[in-house]
Structure 1
Amino acid sequence: MRFRRPVAFTGALALSLSLAGSAQDDSAGSSSHTVTYWLWDANQLPAYEACARDFEKRNPGLDVRITQLGWDDYWTKLTASFIAGTEPDVFTDHIQKFGQFADLKVLEPLDDLPIEDSSYQPGLAANWVGQDGRRYGAPKDWDTVGLFYNRKMAKAAGISAEELNGLDWNPRDGGTFEKTIARLTVDRNGRRGDEPGFDKDDVKVYGLATNGGGDGDGQTQWSTFTASAGWTYTDEERWGKRYNYDSETFQSVVEWYFGLAEKGYMTPFTDWNSQSNQANTQVASGRAATAFDGAWMISTYAGFKGLDIGSAVTPAGPTGKRATMMNGLADSVTKGARNKAGAKKWVAHLASNACQRTVGGYGIVFPATPEGTEAAVAAYEKKGIDVSAFTRPVTDTREFTTFSYPITNYAADVLALMKPAMQDVFANDAPVGGLDETNSQINLILDQ
C-alpha cells in the first residue's frame, strides 16, 4: 500500500531508548552468505521470493532472507532497527521517507550500480538522487491514481463508462464530476443527489467514498484536483524550501472537495477509519459508488465478490489536463548493512529487467522498467482487468500530467502538522484559511 502515512521519524528518534529496548534483531546472522531484505506488501511477497530464487541461482553462495511486515509495523520496526543497530541489509523505501533517511545518513550510496534514468519509467530514477547528487534508491515499481466505480450503480444512474472517462471539474460548481457524483448518490427514500427532495442527512449510497483528510499530500483524496488546478506542493519539484498550503488555489480546491461531504455526495469523515473502513471497504459494502484509489489496489477492487468494478481516469481540471500522483518505490541499502557487497548485488537484481519482468507477471503492481510494466499489463489482461486508466497517464502527456510526492527533508514534521489540520477542515468544517498558520510553521522548520 502507498497512501498510508509512515510514522514520524523525528518523533521516533526522541523515543530512541524505548524503541531500542523493544527492537528484535532480525538481522542477526546476516553474513557474507546472507542478505536480509524487508518489504511491507504481503501481496508482493511471492513475486519477490521468486526473484530471490533466481538471484540465488545466479549468485551461488548468497542467500536472501525476506521479512514481510504490515505497513505500520514496518516503519515502526525499521525506525527502531536503525536506532538499535539491527537494520536489514536492504529495505523497500518510500519517497516520502527518503529525504529524512538521506539527511540522517542511514542509507548507503548506490552510485556504483548500473542505474540509468532511461531504463525506467520517466522520473522514477531521478527521484532517488539526494541533494548531494548521490543515488540512494534503485527504482522498484510505480503507481498512479484512478477512479474505481460500481458498474451496476453507474448503469442504474444512467452514467456510461465513456462519461466517467470524460469528466471535468472546477472549484466553482464542480463541473460534470460533481454532477455525476451527485447523480450516483441515493438517500434512504431513493432520491438521488440531483433530484428535488434529496435528504443529505440520510444517505444510503454516497457517490464518492472518502480516504480521510489526506494529511499533507492527499494522494487518493484531493491531490488530483489540486494538481489539475495548477498547484504544486513546494517551490521546487524536488528538495523545495517552501510549502504552498497557504496558496489561494490550494485552499479553494480543498474547500470545494470537502464540501462534497457537506452536500451529502461524499462519505463523511465519521464514516471513515484509517484501519478498518477505507474507501475500498465503503465501495465493497455498497456504501459508496466510486472511490479514488491507487493502482496497488486494482486486484483488491477486482476481487470484490458479487460486484462488477470498473475504473476510469481522473477528471480534467482548470488547467485542461487530468492529473495523478505517480509514486515510485525503490530498494535501498542501509549504511549499517552487514553484507554490503551482497546487498548491492541483490538491489541491482531487483532493479533489473529479469526481476521486474518476474514481478510484473504476478499482476500485482507495475514494475519500474517498461518491460516489467508490459508484463504486468499482460498479466492483468489475462485476469480480465483493464488497467488503462492507470497506464494512460504515463504514456499520454498531452492529456495527462503526473507529479510526485513532495521530496523534502522534513516529511515527518509536515505530516505531524498537516494531518490534524486537514482532519479539522474535513471533520470540523474548520476554515481553510487556518492552513496559512500551519504552512508558516512548516516553512519555519524547513528554514533550519
Structure 2
Amino acid sequence: MKTKPIITSALAIALATQAFAGEIKYSLWDSNQMPAYQQCAADFMAQNPGIKITINQSGWDDYWTALSTGFVSGTAPDVFTNHLAKYPEFVKNNLLVDLSDYIERDKVDAGQYRQGLYQIWGKDGKQYGLPKDWDTIAMLVNMDMAKAAGVTLDELNNMTWNPKDGGSFEQIVKKLTLDKNGHNAMSPAFEPNEVVTYGYQTPGSGNMMGQTEWSHFAVSSGFRFQDAPWDGNFHYDSPELASTIDYLASLADRHLSADFKRTQSLGSDAMFIAKKVAIIPQGSWMITYFNNSAKFNNQWVPLPIGPNGKRATTFNGLADSIWTGSKNKEESWLWVKYLGSSACQSVVAERGVVFPAIKGLAERAIEVQKGHGVDSSAFLIMAESETFLPPIANNGSRIAEIMDKAIQSVFLGRSTAEKALSSANKKIIKLNR
C-alpha cells in the first residue's frame, strides 16, 4: 500500500507563498527546442524570483551518457527530459520522483493532455513525468525528383505497402531510383551497380523500437511488440516482423536503397539533403531541421497503408521527470508543473518545432509551420491513424542491444530475419523472466 506524506496546512501555505532559493538544473537533447524552453525559463523565473533555471543541451547519445554518469556521481540534473524507452530502467533503479502527491496536492488536470500521453508515464499508481510533447512518423519526399519521375503528390499521399511485392510504395521507389545515365529501376536499361539516387532509405537497424526504421511497416502488417506495456513477453519472433525486415533488406539487395554499411557511414538524413535518396522516413521532431537544411522542394506525406488496411505509427510522448537525488525537489516540481502547463506549451507551439502535449496546441504548431512554408499535416494524419507505443519494459538497454545485433545481421546479409529474430526473442524473454 502506498503511503502518502502528510502536508500540514501551515506547510502548504508556506509552499504556496515563499520564494524558494536555489538553482534548478534542467537538461534536454533537442537543440531546436532550446530557444522555446529558454523563453519558458525566463517567464518562470519572472514569476518565481527565488528560483534560477539553468538549461543544458547536448546531442542524443551524449545526453544519455551524461545522465547515466550523473546518476552515479550524484551530479545529475534536477529535472530532465525523459523518453519512454529509457524510463523503465530509471523506475527500476529508483531514480525518478513519484509526482502523484504533488499532482494531487496542486490539482493538476491530467485531462488537459492529448489522450494517452499522461497515462503512459504512470505505473502502479505512481506518476513519473508530466507530458511535454508527442511525435509520430511520416515520410519526407524530394518533390523535384518526384515531379521529374512523374509521381504525383496524390500518389504519394495514398501509397500502399506489403512485404510480398511492395505495393504502390515499391513502384514509386523504383521510379525514383536512378542510375548514372538517368534510367530508373523500372527500365530494362537500368544499371543497378551505377545508382546515383536511391528511391528510399531505411535509416538503420532501429534496435528494439524501429521507430523510424521498421515498426510502421511491421505493425501495419499485423506485428505487435507486447501484449501490454511492461509485459516481458515480446513478439519479436513473429512472422510479420520477419517478413518486414527481410523486405527492407531486399531493397538494398535490389539496389533500391543504399547498403547498410554505407547508410551507417553517411546517415539517411544527410543522404536526403545531398539528394542521394528521394524518400526517407523521419519523426516530427525533425521538421525544423529539414526546413532549414533541405534547399529544394520537399513534402511530408503519410506512411503507406499496410496489409491490414491501415497506416500505423509509433506514438511517442516525452515527459519531464525529477531525479530522486535532487536537493530541491519542491522547486523542481514547480518547474515541471510549469513545463507541463499551457503557459509554457503555448510558447513551444508558437515556435512550431514540436507538437505540445496539451490538447489543441499541436494544431497551433501546424499553423505556425505553414507560415514557414511547411505542410506538416501528415503527422496529424498519422496521429489519427493506428498508433502504438514504443516497447515499455525493464532491461531496455539490454533488449536494444540484442535487437540491434539481430537486425544488423539481416541487413548485412549474415542471417535470415526468421533465424535472427527467433534467437533474439528467446534471449529477451529469458532476460525478463
TM-score, normalised on structure 1?
0.89
From 113, 138, 153, the counterpart of 1:146: 138
Instruction: State the AA in 2 paired with 1:158.
Output: G
Give the alignment of 1:20-419 within 5 angstroms: 32-111=21-100, 112-113=102-103, 114-130=107-123, 132-236=124-228, 238-273=229-264, 277-394=266-383, 396=384, 400-419=385-404
Q: Give a deviation string over 1:312-369, Cα, whole Å, max 9, x none.
A: 0000001110011111110000111110000000000000001000011111111111
Q: Is the 8 A contact 1:169 1:317 kept in 2?
A: yes
Deviates more, 1:202-211 or 1:300-309: 300-309
Shift of 1:379: 1.5
Q: Is the 8 A contact 1:302 1:308 kept in 2?
A: no
Indicate yes or no: 2:425 matched with 1:439. yes
Q: Is the 8 A contact 1:326 1:404 kept in 2?
A: yes
C-alpha distance 305-97 of structure 1, shift in aligned 2 (>3 A): closer
Match of 1:9 in 2: none
Q: For residue 220 of structure 1, give the secondary structure of its aligned residue in structure 2.
A: coil
Instruction: State the AA in 2 paired with 1:445.
Output: L
Q: Give a deviation string over 1:138-186, Cα, whole Å, max 9, x none.
A: 1011111101000110001100001000010111111101111111101
How far apart, CA to CA, are the structure 2 residues paired with 1:206 and 1:117? 45
- Structure showing greater Rg: 2
Q: For residue 75 of structure 1, give the secondary structure of its aligned residue in structure 2.
A: helix
Shift of 1:59: 1.6
Q: Is the 8 A contact 1:380 1:386 kept in 2?
A: yes
Q: Is the 8 A contact 2:201 2:258 kept in 1?
A: yes
Shift of 1:428: 2.4
How far apart, CA to CA, are the structure 2 residues paired with 1:369 and 1:392? 18
Shift of 1:295: 0.6
Shift of 1:306: 3.2
Shift of 1:209: 1.9
How far apart, CA to CA, are the structure 1 residues paired with 2:256 and 2:204? 14
Deviates more, 1:80-89 or 1:159-168: 80-89
Q: Give a deviation string over 1:122-145, Cα, whole Å, max 9, x none.
A: 211111012x22000110111111
Gaps of 5+ in 2: 1-19
Q: Is the 8 A contact 2:138 2:382 kept in 1?
A: no
Q: For residue 312 of structure 2, give the secondary structure of its aligned residue in structure 1.
A: strand
Q: For residue 302 of structure 1, give the secondary structure of its aligned residue in structure 2.
A: helix
Q: Is the 8 A contact 1:235 1:241 kept in 2?
A: no
Instruction: State the AA in 2 paired with 1:381.
Output: K
Query: Identity of counterpart residues, as a percentage?
Result: 38
Q: For residue 201 of structure 1, give the secondary structure of its aligned residue in structure 2.
A: helix
Match of 2:3 in 1: none
Shift of 1:388: 0.5
Shift of 1:374: 2.8
Q: Is the 8 A contact 1:353 1:371 kept in 2?
A: no
Q: Give a deviation string over 1:102-122, Cα, whole Å, max 9, x none.
A: 011110001122454421112
C-alpha distance 340-139 of structure 1, shift in aligned 2 (>3 A): same
Q: Is the 8 A contact 1:182 1:265 kept in 2?
A: yes
How far apart, CA to CA, are the structure 1 residues paired with 2:190 and 2:251? 14
Q: For residue 126 of structure 2, give the secondary structure of its aligned residue in structure 1.
A: coil
How far apart, CA to CA, are the structure 2 residues paired with 1:309 and 1:303? 12
Instruction: State the AA in 2 paired with 1:180.
Output: I
Q: For residue 428 of structure 1, give the secondary structure of its aligned residue in structure 2.
A: coil
Shift of 1:287: 0.5
Shift of 1:382: 1.3
Q: For residue 140 of structure 2, give the secondary structure of its aligned residue in structure 1.
A: strand
How far apart, CA to CA, are the structure 1 residues paired with 2:111 and 2:268? 35
Shift of 1:70: 1.7
Shift of 1:88: 1.2
How far apart, CA to CA, are the structure 2 residues paired with 1:104 and 1:150? 45
Q: For residue 408 of structure 1, give the secondary structure of its aligned residue in structure 2.
A: coil
